[in-house]
Amino acid sequence: MTALLEIRGLTKAYPGVVANDDVSFSIAPGEVHALLGENGAGKSTLVKMIYGLVRPDSGSMTLGGSAYTPAEPRAARASGVAMVFQHFSLFEALSVAENIALGMEDPPRPRDLARRIQDVSRAYGLPLDPARMVGDLSAGERQRVEIIRCLLQDPKLLIMDEPTSVLTPQEVEILFHTLRKLSSEGTAILYISHKLEEIRTLCDAATILRLGKVVGSCTPREVSAADMAEMMVGKSLATPARDASEPGEVLLHVAGLSLEPATPFGTPLRHIGMEVRAGEVLGIGGVAGNGQDELLAALSGERPVAPGMIELKGTPIGATGPEARRRAGLLCAPEERLGHAAAPDMSLIENAVLTGRVRRGLDRSGFVGWGRARAFAEEIIERFDVRTPGPAVAARALSGGNLQKYVIGREILQAPDVLVVNQPTWGVDASAAASIRQALLDLAQNGAAVVVISQDLDELLEISDRFCALNEGRLSASRPARGLTMEEIGLMLGGAHDMHDIAPEPEAAQ
Amino acid sequence: MIDPVTLIVALIIVSTPVLLAAIGELVVEKTGVLNLGVEGMMIIGAVTGFITAVETGSVTLAFLAGMAGGMILSAVFGVLTQLLLSNQVATGLALTLFGIGLAALLGVGYPGSSLPPVPDLFPASMQAIPVAGPILFSHPLIIYLAVLLVVAVWFLLQHTRTGLVIRAVGESHDAAHALGYKVIRIRFLAILFGGACAGLGGAFLSVARVQNWIEGMTAGAGWIALALVVFASWKPWRVLLGAWLFGGISALQLRLQAAEVNVPVALLDSSPYLVTIIVLVLISSDRARAALNAPAALGKVFHASG
C-alpha cells in the first residue's frame, strides 16, 4: 500500500534545543500510527509541523503522493489533515456549534450545522447537544466537540494529541470504538500518547522519539509495554515500592465539607468526608474538573470553610489560612506548577522561602535569612535530583518535571504530618514521575499521611493504600486499592457520561 | 418648568459622543484588548475635527478628520500593545495623558473660532411636526449613524462569522491561534475601529454639540464610555441604554441648575456619573452571568509560541 503521509528528514531547531532532528516515517491510509516519547522528546513540535503551526527548518513531507508544505492550519485542513488538541483549542463561553464553526473553513448556516453535528455524533456514537455552552461540558464531552469538529471535514489524517489523559476508562473504550470505525473507513490516525497499554490495544505501528530523534519503530501488538518503555526512556525503570506497615492514628479528618465554586465554570464540593491515617496514602481519582482544584483549595486553606469540616490531629482547622495550617503540619502542593505552586519569575531560593518560611525557620522577626534559604533550596535540589544550573535561577526556566520535583521536594523536606498533592506527575516524564512517587511513599513510610489527587489511575493503584473517586464534587467512600480493577474504578468515577449504547448506566458510586 | 420634548432632544445629543466611544470600545474589548485611552482618542478627535471644520468649512471633512485622528492615536496603542507586547493598562493610561496634552497643543488659537453649521438630515417641514418632529427628525446625520452602529455591532457580534471570530479571539487567543486565526491582525483592526469611533465621538462633541474648542472639553466622557462597556456586560443594547441614561441625567441636571433647585451644584454636576454607574451596577449585579459575557482574555498579552 502506498503511504498517505510520508515524512523525510524533518528538522526543527529552537534556540538552544533541537526539537526534531532528521525525523522520518510514513503512515498508510487507515493505519493507526502511534507516536511515542517522553515529554520533551519532540512529539508536539512534529505534529505542529504536520498541522502547519510550525514550519520545519529542513526536510520534506508528501501527502497522498504530492508535496505537502502547509503554511498555516487552514492549508493543512484544506489538504485533509485534522487535529484534536490536548488542550487550548475550545472556547468555554461559546456554544458547541459555534466552537465547531470556528474550526471549519466554510461553515454551513447555523441550522444546517446543528443538524450535521447531530448526524455525525449519532453515526459515531458520540452524543452531543450543539446548543450547549462548552464551559458546562465534562472533559470527555469537550473532546467529543473537537473530534466532531474534525470529522465534519472528512479528514484523511486525524492527529490526536494525548486524547485519553482526561477520560474515564469507559470513555476511553468509546473513543477507541470511534477511532477503529474511522480507521476501517480509511482515515489514518496519528496517535500521540505515553500510555503504552493503550497503544498496544489500538495502534498498528509505532514510531518512538527520544530527544528529537527517531530511536526505533515497532508493531505495538508484538512487543511488551516494558520493551516500549525502555526504548522511550533509554533505560529500564524501577517500580516504586515500600514495606507494608500498619496505619497509625487518624491525622486528617474531613466531614461534611461543602464549598461553592469561586469561578463560573468551577465545581461545587458536596458533603465530602474522608479520613487519612499516619503512614497511609489515600488516592483520590477522578477526571479533571470534578472538584479537584476546589478540594485542594479547601484543604490548603486558600478557601476557608467552617472550622469543624476539616480536623488535623483532632483540632478543627477549617477556618484557618494556609500559613496557620503549615504551622500545624498540613502542607499542600497544587496542580499548576507555574503560577500556583511556584512564582514563575522568582528564583528557586525565593520560592523556597514562600512556603518553607515557617517550618524551616527561614526568617526571623521579619528579616529573611537568605543563607538559610539558599541552604534549604540546595538541599531540595540535592535530595530530589532537580536538574538546574543553581538555586538562583527563575522557576520558569526549569522544565516541568524538574520544577515538579522541586515543589514536591520543598513540601516533603518540611516534614509534614499531612501532605496533599494534586496531579503530582502531570506532564512529568517517566523517570521523574517514578522518583516523585517513591518520595511520596517514603514520606508515608516515615509516618505522614499522604493524600494524592490524580487523574492517572495507574499511578493511584501503584502507590495508594485506599482509593476513592471524586465525581461532580462528591467523594465516594474509600476502598482498599489493592485488587481494584479498572472496570470497578470506572464505575466509581461515574462511568462515561451519557453513554448508554456501549456502557451500561453506572450505579451511583457507593 | 422643564419641557420633556426639549429634554429628550438634549438627551440624544448629549449621549451621542459617549455612545460612539463606548460602542467602539465594546468591539475592542470583545477581541480581548483593554484600551484605556478612550478619553485621549476622543479629545484628539475633538481637536482635529474642530480644526478641520474651521480651516476647510466642511462638516463632513471635520468628522472624517476626527475619525482619522482617533485612529492614528489608536494605531500607536496597537503597535505598542500588539506588536511590542507592552502592558495594555499602562499604555492606555499613557495614551489618554498624551492625547489630552497633544490636543491642548494643537488647539492653541482655535477657541472661539466660528464654525460652519452642521446640516440637518430632514426638511424643516418634518421637524415642525409636534413632539415627534424635534425628537425624531431634528438631528444631524451622525446621531442616526450612532444608533445604527449599535444595531450593526449587535448584529455583527451575534449573527455573523466575523463576530464569532471576534468573540473567539477575546475568549481564548491561544485556542484561536491554534485554529489558525490571525489574533494580532484581528485585534489591531478592532483597535483601529475603536479609535475611529472615539474620534468621531470627540469630533461630534466639538463640531456639532458645543460648536467650540475648549481645552479638556471631553471632561471624562471617555471614562464614562469605558465604564458603560463593563457595566453593560459587553452588550450593545445596554450600552445604548447606559449612554441615554447618562445623557438624560446630564441634560436634566443642567435644567435643574438653571431652575435654581435647592440642591448643591456640585452634587448636580456629578449626578450623571453617579446615577449611570449605580444603575448599571444594579443591572449587572448578577455576577455569574456578567462574568460569562466578559471576554476571558481581556487585557492579557498574546504572544504566539511554537
Percent of chain A with pLDDT over 90: 26
Q: Are the CB atoms for A290 and A471 separated by under 8 Å?
A: yes
Could you tell me if B85 lies within 8 Å of chain A, comparing CB atoms? no
Q: Is the pLDDT of residue B271 over 80?
A: yes
- The number of C-beta contacts closer than 8 angstroms across A and B is 60
Residue type, B60: T
Cα separation, A481 vs A478, whole angstroms: 9
Where along chain A do its domains lie?
5-233, 250-492
Mutate to test the interface with A, among B29, B167, B173, B179 (most CBs of A within 10 A): B179
Most confident of A162-171, A208-217, B196-205: B196-205
A53 CB neighbours in chain B (<8 A) are 178, 180, 306
Among A207, A153, A152, A193, CA closest to A28: A207
**Arithmetic mean of pLDDT, B37-49:** 96
Rounded distance between C-alpha atoms, residue A280 and residue A283, angstroms? 10
Classify A138 in phi/psi space as left (phi over 0), alpha (psi -120 to 50) or beta. beta
Nearest CA-CA distance, residue A316 and chain B, Å: 32
Which of A3-17, B96-110, B288-302 has the weakest average pLDDT? Answer: B288-302
Which fold would CATH assign to domain A250-492?
Rossmann fold (3.40.50)
Q: Cα dist. A447→A248, A261, A281, A305 in Å?
A: 8, 33, 10, 27
Reply yes or no on whether the pLDDT at B270 is more than 80: yes
Mean pLDDT over A215-234 rounds to 82
Model pLDDT, residue B122: 82
Q: Mean pLDDT over residues A139-159, rounded? A: 86
Give which of B152, B167, B198 is closest to B32, Cα–Cα: B167
Task: Express each pLDDT in A258-317 by its tens digit.
Answer: 998 877 777 889 899 999 999 999 999 887 778 888 999 999 999 999 988 999 999 999
| Unique residue bearing C-alpha cell 502592558 | B87
Q: How far is CA A217 from CA A35, A41, A64, A190, in A?
A: 9, 15, 22, 14
Percentage of residues in chain B having pLDDT higher than 70: 96
- Residue A244 has what pLDDT? 65
Is B7-111+134-293 CATH 1.10.3470? Answer: yes
- Taking only the tens place, the pLDDT of each residue in B152-171 is 999 999 889 999 999 999 99
Residue B205 has pLDDT above 90, yes or no: yes
Q: List, in order, residues 6 or more apart from A357 with CB less than 8 Å away.
A: A363, A368
The reported pLDDT for the residue numbered B56 is: 93
A445-468 pLDDT, tens per residue?
Answer: 988 999 999 888 888 888 999 999
Most confident residue range from A285-299, A340-354, B57-71, B270-284: B57-71
- Tens-digit pLDDT profile for residues B134-147: 888 888 889 999 99
CB of A176 within 8 Å of any CB in chain B? Answer: no
CA distance B48 to B66: 5
Contact status of B176 with chain A (Cβ, < 8 Å): yes
Which CATH number applies to A5-233?
3.40.50.300
pLDDT (average), residues A28-53: 86
pLDDT higher than 80, residue A140? no
> Residue A82: closest CA among chain B residues belongs to which residue?
B179
- Quick one: cell of B299? 487585557
How confident is the prediction for chain A on average, in pLDDT?
85
Contact A102 B164 (CB under 8 A): yes
Give percent of chain A above pLDDT 70.
Answer: 93
What is the rounded average pLDDT of the residues B90-114? 93
ipTM value > 0.85? no
Q: Which of A75, A84, A68, A79 is nearest to A126 (CA)?
A: A84
Report the half-sphere exposure of A122 (CA within 13 A, side-chain side): 6
Taking all residues of chain B, what is their mean pLDDT, rounded to a whole number? Answer: 89
N- to C-terminal Cα distance for chain A? 52
How many CB atoms sit inside 10 A of residue A235's CB?
Answer: 10
Fold identical between A5-233 and A250-492? yes
Q: According to the model, what pLDDT value does residue A238 have?
A: 64
Q: Tell me the nearest-neighbour CA distance from B306 into chain A, angstroms.
A: 6
Domain ranges of chain B: 7-111+134-293
Decide if A93 and B161 are in contact by the 8 Å CB cutoff: no
